[in-house]
Structure 1
Amino acid sequence: MIDTPLSARVPAPAQLAAPQHPQVPAWRGATSDDIDAVHALFAAAGRVDHPTYTVPREEIADHFALPHIDPARDTILGFGGDGELLAASSAILHPSRDTAAKVILEGAVHPAHRRRGIGTAALAWTYDRALQHLASIDVPIPGEVAMYAEERTTDAAAIAERIGLSTERWFTTMVRDLAEPVLERAAPEGTRLVPYAPERAMDVLAARNDAFRDHWGSLPSVEAPWRAFVDGPYLRPDLSTLLLEGDRVVALCLASVNEEDWEALGAPNTYIDLIGVVRDRRARGYAPTVISRTLAAARDAGLRKAVLDVDTASPTGAHGLYERLGFAATDRSRVLTRHF
């Protein structure tokens, strides 16, 4: 049991000096005027780091709109002498801090300027900002700094390891060809299958939080980022599936479509963002029921592939379930963490 506040356990600098690098003469915090430049940087990096998917502009723009993020203090941007954005790095404190505090490190260096120490300088600053976040919390809860890295981005993992993070978990991307038959399942007795509807947003949030309470690394989602996701431009209610007992959401499969990914993946596809079953209704076949309905809806909408990511050590055995439903593993990514 932890009985000492995070603020007393985490050493953090009182002030953050700008990173120093001879090829990056200007560093500063981010403003909303930087959204397009940051998006262009992440797009260039993504073509090398994860060529099968893109980071939407709207996802970056959310960082400048969500109330728990202060881009001017949480993000550092590095510019070359010609004003080109060479690097961006952020430390985002998760808005839910009831049971744990978690800071996610994110960032990119333009591929043309890598292996010069720019990423090392940016990530060192970002890690110190993460420590500041944790040290601001005066309650006795666990603290964590985490960074996701594609398996192919070994340089990023090496930089994270040098500042004290270590690989704790692996995730696998899985893809299903929707040309293969989809075994559709009827709703179990006493339940009904319905597409997602905006008026159920908070009921679905409650089901999501219950379903993920025992998932590794998961903290409860809160209303503002949840609304940004479900009310955003990519969620497809017609492809997303809920299983109801009366008016209670007991299982969910939420799917989105980002057409910018189609060329990268080589086919029109849907990404399955969330699959969950509330904890007192597990082991009843609810997960394959909602997934199958979403796969059939995606096929009927003319999409050719479905994509998802899964924790390789999920306590629910999700990896095996997805294989039985026709998904095949492709890429892997790791989560590097440090706990306090």
Structure 2
Amino acid sequence: MHPGWRGRGVGRALLAWQLGRGRQKLAESGKDLPARLAAYADEDADAHRRLLAAAGLEPRRWYRTMRRDLSTPPPVVELDAGLRVAPWSPELDDAVRVAHNDAFRDHWGSEPATPESWTTGRAKFAPAWSFAVVDDTAEPVDGAPVVAAYAMSGRYEQDWSVVGYTSGYTEILGVRRAYRGRRLAPALLAASMAAFRADGIEYAELDVDTENPSGAHGLYERLGYEVRHGSVMYTVEL
């Protein structure tokens, strides 16, 4: 909000409208399920956080944005025999969706992706920076290879002039339960970083839920990612 309009009730009015409209949209969905309205605030944005709290939203989850300098080459990660890192392709995409649903079934707030929902919101998707680990020892399912893990990246060029550097952003990183502990996530991040670096990108970036059950925060730190800033999700549970 423009500084000249702060403290005049504009933020409160906008937030009240948003919450009311959110409730309407949920009611119109026809779904009789638990639901939530959510908003995000930077961790150090005290005024924004007070506004959300005053409206009845409660802090629910904490996130960290992390960044790795690509002037240092990524590590070389060897995978077990039969596992290989493959570039993303349309032919692999639905197998990646199946892997995603398995990988995120124990993550807070995650819902299974349908074939329709999986392909929405890809305006910034960067196929050349995205990869999957394929298990060549597993029987294909409906003619498609088994994807054990995947990393999908985005290219947000409109942000680069604002932040002062170029970056590749890892949107989603997932490893299926049966394949965890086999260095698939480090292999995928290394492949993504190598692709960013080959295109002259300066940094690799991602966000992580600090309560991620897979211990992702520690993994990223070991690969050289550093915390840049934090944010908080505030919610009203319905």
Instruction: Verify same fold: TM over 0.5.
Output: yes
- Supply the AA of the counterpart residue of 2:164: G
In the alignment, the residues of structure 1 paired with residue 28 and residue 52 of structure 2 have an alpha-carbon distance, to the nearest angstrom, of: 22
Whole-Å Cα distance in 1 between the matches of residues 80 and 164 of structure 2? 36
Cα 1:111–1:202 shift into 2, 3 Å:
farther
CA–CA separation in structure 1 for the residues paired with 2:79 and 2:199: 21
Aligned to 1:267: 165
1:240 is aligned with what amino acid?
A: S
**Unaligned segments of structure 1, at least 5 residues:** 1-108
Task: Give yes or no for contact 1:210–1:278 (8 Å, CA) kept in 2.
Answer: yes
* 1:142 to partner: Cα distance: 2.0
Q: Which amino acid aligns with 1:176?
A: R
Of residues 225, 228, 247, the one that matches 2:120 is 228
Match of 2:49 among 151, 157, 162: 157
Correspondent of 1:201 among 78, 90, 93: 93
Instruction: State the 1:175 CA deviation.
Output: 0.4
- Give the equivalent residue in structure 1 for 2:82: 190
1:184–1:296 contact (8 Å) kept in structure 2: no
Deviating above 6 A after TM superposition, structure 1's stretches of 4 or more consecutive aligned residues are: none
What secondary structure is seen at the aligned counterpart in 1 of 2:120? helix
8 Å CA contact 2:132–2:151 kept in 1: the answer is yes
Question: Are 1:181 and 2:73 counterparts?
Answer: yes
CA distance in 2, matches of 1:111, 1:200: 48
Shift of 1:333: 0.3
Task: Give the fraction of aligned pairs with identical amino acids, expressed as a percent.
Answer: 38
- The answer as to 2:65 corresponding to 1:169 is no
Count, aligned residues:
230
How far residue 251 of structure 1 moved from its aligned partner, in angstroms, is 0.6
Letter of the 1:156 partner, please give it: H
Paired with 2:222 and 2:229, the residues of 1 have a C-alpha distance of 18
The residue that corresponds to 2:209 in the other structure is 311
**C-alpha separation between the residues in 2 aligned to 1:282 and 1:225?**
26
CA distance in 2, matches of 1:127, 1:137: 16
Matched, 1:238 2:133: no
Cα-Cα RMSD: 1.9
- Once the two structures are TM-superposed, the CA of residue 138 in structure 1 deviates from its matched residue by 5.9
- In structure 2, runs of 5+ residues without a counterpart are 137-144
Shift of 1:110: 4.3
Q: How does 1:1-340 map to 2 (within 5 A)?
A: 109-136=1-28, 141-230=33-122, 232=123, 234-246=124-136, 247-340=145-238
SS of 1:125 mapped into structure 2: helix
Q: Shift in Å at residue 313 of structure 1?
A: 1.2
Give the Cα–Cα distance (whole angstroms) in 2 for the partners of residues 306 and 316 of structure 1. 20
Q: Following the alignment from structure 1 to structure 2, what is the Cα–Cα distance between the partners of residues 290 and 211?
A: 14
* SS of residue in 1 equivalent to 2:121: helix
Counterpart CA distance in 1 for 2:180 and 2:8 is 50
Find the aligned partners of 2:164 and 2:119 in 1 and give their Cα distance: 30
- Asked whether the 8 Å contact 2:79–2:182 carries over to 1, the reply is no
Larger CA deviation: 169-178 vs 209-218 = 209-218
Q: CA deviation at 1:256?
A: 1.5
Following superposition, the deviation at residue 137 of structure 1 comes to: 6.0
TM-score where L is the length of structure 2: 0.88
Deviations 1:95-143 (A, max 9, x none): xxxxxxxxxxxxxx44553332111101112112222334456665322
Deviations 1:31-64 (A, max 9, x none): xxxxxxxxxxxxxxxxxxxxxxxxxxxxxxxxxx
Q: How much does 1:329 deviate?
A: 0.4
The residue type equivalent to 2:39 in the other structure is M
- Between 1 and 2, higher relative CO (CA 8 Å, sep ≥ 6) is seen in 2
Q: Report the CA distance shift for 1:140/1:223 in structure 2 as closer, same or farther (over 3 A).
A: same
